[in-house]
Structure 1
Amino acid sequence: MTSIITDSFHLTILILRCVGLYYNGKQSLAMKIWKYSVYLLSVVMVVLALFNLFVEENIDMLQLNQLVVFLAEASSGVVKILLFMKNGSRIKKCIHFFGDRRFEPKNEEEKRILDECVRLCRRNVKIIVGALAFTDVIWNILPLWNPASALPVKIWLPFELIPGSPTLYLARFYVAIVLTYDGIVTTSLEPLIGGLAYHITAQIKILKYNIIYLDGNNTAKTEIGNRSTTNYKKVREKLIQCIAHHNDILIFVAEFENCFSWCIFWQLAGTTFGLCFCSVGMTWVSPTSVNAMMFFVTYAVISLQLFFYCHYGTLLYEENNGLIDAIYMSPWYKYDAATRKIFITMMECSKVSITLTTGKIITLTYDTFTSVLKTSYSLIAVLNNYH
């Protein structure tokens, strides 16, 4: 049986494998050289763009907006990739936590829940990667519509870019590689992290179902001779399994926070500035221009990245809040005192709030998403007044 994690994130894992961030066993020397070389090229371009921001005297507002949007997204991406490279083995174990055999579906309802989770994760990966590929193409063809701009992103270079010269094409090739690398790799992490959050939600749904239907039909009755008795021992065994399942979920949430919390934090920081300067850029260009399309598509993709985090963080929070309700909805009143004590223990355990945070500071909810939009709009007002 194929792991549900592999089914959910096949495309993401393939992308990470191609750039050396995901591997089985010991990584070859050639792949290590490739991994660090491409990452170094990305870091160098961020430094060159940042240096150009401070030394360029004649930069216009359009180029400034493009440069800041690139720096906001590329800087957060560089940090996220570094965190992934630093904790690669631990992150890989976290990714495949729910791929263990003990989380395989045991009945039709569990299978239905997991199949729906896998379907949504695969859909999200395709949407995000497809949108990013389209955005990457638009950024790379910008010089074709704006001859005054030699490169899609204005960076500092120690030589002049002469039209038609080999150095110009070499510089464009370098920028294209970095834009594609930063975009594809960092953006493919968004549906992976958000999808893992949704897998937590799916496991809580399964847990709630198993609690409500401990005996399979919610009656907990078996016939022994002419008497109707409750099979307390069997129910207690299933309830203990539910408690173990809940503990596994809590363990994964803690590991998820340790692996991805700071990745989400840097994405949140980059998104705030990226949305702001994309919005400002759209107000300063013609609505029918390629630059307007570039800013609009970039704005949409950046918003979608953040929305994935906040959406699945909210779903997880709401699903976990319904866990106590599921315990109350179960036929706990039909069981003996020993079984009811186990129910009480589980009620106490379910009081532990399961939330996803960014930097272990800000909770990922719809409120966080709207707060980021409000903050970016406030920065827009300040920049427009300055302009």
Structure 2
Amino acid sequence: MLKLLKNSGDPFDSALGPTHFGLQFWVLMQKNRRNLYNALHISALIFVLSQYVELWIIRKDLELAMRNLSVTMLSTVCVFKAGTFVFWEKSWSELLDYVSNLEVKQLSKKDPLTKNIIDEYTRYSRKVTYFYRVLITATVFVVIMAPLFSFLSSVEYRDRIRNGTVPYPEVLSSWVPFDRTRGFGYWVVSIEQAFVCFYGGGVVANFDCNAVVIMSFFAGQLRLLSANCDRLFDDGDKLVTYKTAMKRIKECHYHHLYLMKYTAVLNSLLSPVLFLYVIICSLMICASAIQLTTEGTGNMQRIWIAEYLMALIVQLFLYCWHGNEVLYMSNQVDAGVYSSAWWSQEVRVRRSLLLLGGQLRKSVVFTAGPFAKLNVATFVAILKGSYSYFTLLENNKED
């Protein structure tokens, strides 16, 4: 497990080493045995449908329905992430190849500044990946072990189970066409649900880490582009020939054009997934908050809900924070043009430099569907909306 958490993949693969390993291990990137791997994803989809069936059956029990709803919504997002990744695997592979090839090309030039910037965002990406994998792994284990902790936490609860007045605690809530409350059926369902938890945790961890690492890559590359623009003409004391100046300007043009192209590709891949997540995130956070404040909720269940709630908020924050970082760097990248020694160049070069400065003014905005932008303001707005829903439901409960 520690190897899965810390694996760096190919040491020459820079920032994407751990994500390459994770995507292949959790069969999101499928090179062989496509039918077998797709059967696994389809099985997960069927399980999510069974959760919706169970939700309809227990709809009159508010406490059970809220617990089922909070997990079912996250399961839906998880299956949607896996499905879209497999469906758009060709586009993801093209994007990942661009990231790896660009870094290899840049590092081959042995430029100290380039190497420092790449190493900096690579180390940062590794830390975020490790932290997020640990968080998701902890959440998965808490969810799986919650029934056991609930069983051991109260003598009265164990007596009620032995008397048959309450069923055995479940890992998740899903429908099956046989009795899952006792005996062999209970163990079959528990093993199935534990496996689904591992599957879902792996998909969420690797999909999100992959997206966040690529966002960090774009922020770092925009920073590197700004630094390259700043040193287009060195310090201005030495003469830079027209041919050399135009070559450097051309390289900055192409660097920025390809960054714009592949940020658009990444946004097209993430936007539908995050649109669904942003829509239901407020409901999931609200549902978890209501369960935490509901009387009769056991201590172990509160721990489970708190861990689950923290994972939801961290997941949303990672996307909004790194989307905000890319937006900020895209708005700052043209500063390198104006801080360069442009005054030392002839008129022809200045005109070309002016065109480059105009191109670099384009902002990179990642979106969640057609309505929401991935930035810190959106994160705060979602938390405010969740609190508003929570307050409204609490007031209605009191009335």
Global fold match (TM > 0.5): yes
- Residues 320 and 354 of structure 1 are in contact (CA less than 8 Å); yes or no, is this contact kept in structure 2? yes
Task: Give the Cα–Cα distance (whole angstroms) in 1 for the partners of residues 37 and 311 of structure 2.
Answer: 25
In the TM superposition, residue 4 of structure 1 has moved relative to its aligned partner by 8.1
2:190 paired with 1:188: no
Work out which of the residue numbers 135, 142, 163 in structure 2 matches 1:131: 135
| 8 Å contact from structure 1 (residues 105, 111) kept in 2 | no
Aligned-residue offset at 1:131: 0.8
**Following TM superposition, by how much is the alpha carbon of 1:265 offset from its aligned partner in structure 2, in angstroms?**
1.9
For residue 49 of structure 1, what is the aligned residue in structure 2? Answer: 51
Matched, 1:151 2:170: yes
Within the candidate set 288, 293, 315, 2:325 is matched to: 315
Distance 1:364 1:269, change over 3 A: same
Distance between the aligned counterparts of 2:371 and 2:60, measured in 1?
A: 40
2:20 alignment partner in structure 1 = 13
Q: The residue matched to 1:221 in structure 2 has which SS?
A: coil
- Shift in Å, 1:273: 1.9
Cα deviation, 1:133-191, whole Å, max 9, x if unaligned, reads 1111111122221454531222222222243x111111000111112111221232112
**1:374 Cα offset (Å):** 1.0
Distance 2:206 2:278 in 1: 16
Structure 2 residue 373 is the aligned partner of structure 1 residue 363: yes
Q: Deviations over 1:320-372 (max 9, x none)?
A: 11122221111112110110011111121122221111124321110010011
Q: CA deviation at 1:288?
A: 7.5
Q: What per-residue deviation string (whole Å, max 9, x for no partner) do you get for residues 234-254 of structure 1?
A: 122111111111111111111
2:37 is the alignment partner of 1:40: no
> What are the within-5 Å matches in structure 2 for residues 105-116 of structure 1?
106=109, 107-116=111-120
Report how many residues are paired: 371
SS at match of 1:161: coil
Question: 1:73: how far off?
Answer: 0.6
Counterpart-to-counterpart distance in 2, 1:280 and 1:290: 16
CA offset at residue 202 of structure 1?
A: 0.7
Equivalent-residue separation in structure 2 for 1:168 and 1:11 (angstroms): 37
Q: Is the 8 A contact 2:331 2:362 kept in 1?
A: no
Unaligned runs of 5+ in 2: 1-8, 152-160, 162-166
Q: Quote the Cα distance in structure 2 between the aligned partners of 1:90 and 1:339.
A: 37
**Pairing of 1:185-264 with structure 2 (within 5 A):** 185-216=203-234, 218-222=235-239, 230-264=240-274
Equivalent residues of 1:113, 1:206 under 8 A apart: yes
Identity of aligned residues (%): 18
Return the match for 2:353 from 343, 348, 355: 343
Q: For the Cα contact (< 8 Å) 2:144–2:194, is it kept in 1?
A: yes
**Structure 2 residue 117 is the aligned partner of structure 1 residue 117:** no
What is the alpha-carbon distance in structure 2 between the residues aligned to residue 221 and residue 323 of structure 1?
A: 24
Tell which deviates more after alignment, 261-270 or 195-204.
261-270
Contact 1:105 1:114 in 2 (8 A): no
- List gaps (5 residues or longer) in structure 1: 223-229
Q: Distance in 1 between matches of 2:133 and 2:81?
A: 17
Is the contact between residue 229 and residue 337 of structure 2 (CA under 8 Å) also seen in structure 1?
A: yes
Contact 1:306 1:369 in 2 (8 A): yes
In terms of mean alpha carbon deviation, does 303-312 or 186-195 score higher? 186-195
What residue number does 1:227 align with?
none
TM-score computed with the length of structure 1 as normaliser? 0.89
Deviation at 1:3, TM superposition (A): 7.3
Aligned alpha-carbon RMSD (Å): 2.2
TM superposition shift of 1:35: 1.6
- Is residue 386 of structure 1 aligned with residue 396 of structure 2? yes
Question: What does residue 160 of structure 1 align with?
Answer: 179
C-alpha separation in 1, matches of 2:289 and 2:11 = 39
Would the aligned equivalents of 2:330 and 2:361 in 1 still touch at CA under 8 Å?
no
1:373 counterpart (383, 386, 394): 383
Aligned residue in 2 for 1:226: none
Please, which of 300, 307, 327 is the counterpart of residue 290 of structure 1? 300
CA shift for structure 1 position 287: 8.5
Q: How far 1:5 moved relative to its partner?
A: 8.6
